[in-house]
Structure 1
Amino acid sequence: MATLRQLKDRVRSLKNTQQITRAMKMVAGAKIRRAEAAMRAARPYAQAIGACLGELAKTGGARHPLLERREVQSSGILLMTADKGLAGAFNSNLVRAALSIAREAQRPRFYLVGTKGRVQVRNTTQVIEADWPLQS
């Protein structure tokens, strides 16, 4: 049986954990609201780009060297992961999917954003063309 002091320490520890969890929840909520605001602000731009690309696709008569079909010589894979590991298996699943795509690609080259992806891809034989830290 636990002593009264041990029980009080346990209750205090749980209250501290609860306070930290509440603070983390508030920070996460603020980040989500900021991301949603950025998404709403970008929506008109995305719609305009979509309409523009739709019009270009309808014409079909565009002749440009970059639009011509050609043989695939190499593939670029942009992998964006987090800098911190607070997302469960999210980063590992992204890296696993990217490596699966790389196995089927011809001469794949990785462009990495975020430290978690960089650490995991460096442990493979894949070519890392460039990598950048995630800017928060």
Structure 2
Amino acid sequence: MVQDIASAFIETGFHPVFSEFELASRYPQSDFPDNLGDYDVIAVNQAQKEIWLIESKVLQNVGSIYEDQMQQKSFFFQHRDDEKFQRRIDYIRNELGKVTSVLKLGCVDYVVIPYMVTNKLFTSRYKKLEFPIISYHELMKKLENM
């Protein structure tokens, strides 16, 4: 799904677009923290001064309320997928000048637009999140309308 999302951004005219992108390993001299992990997709709309951060998650289908509850607990409390993505969002926002510099984007007045993209409808029943969770289909519609 990550490659499909990256391709959709490229087709929409975003440039540059990075997939499975880890700042620390890509730019070892820039002293980026190792605990960020990789950004599934970073897509830059230079005309609108936007940096889209995409976290892609493929979720299993659930067949019962119990399975849904277990998926929620696993996602938000055991694996903490939301917290990992929020850490990456916060880092880019707090270090925007440094990031735009190494990506050679010039100015630093970009707006960061984060989305967690899943293969099915999914919402948090346990936590209030600071970023939207949308389906792959919803993301494709957003890109079509640009």
Normalising to structure 2: TM-score of the pair? 0.30
Highest RCO, 1 vs 2 (Cα 8 Å, sep ≥ 6): 2
Q: Which has the higher helix share?
A: 1
Higher radius of gyration, 1 or 2: 1
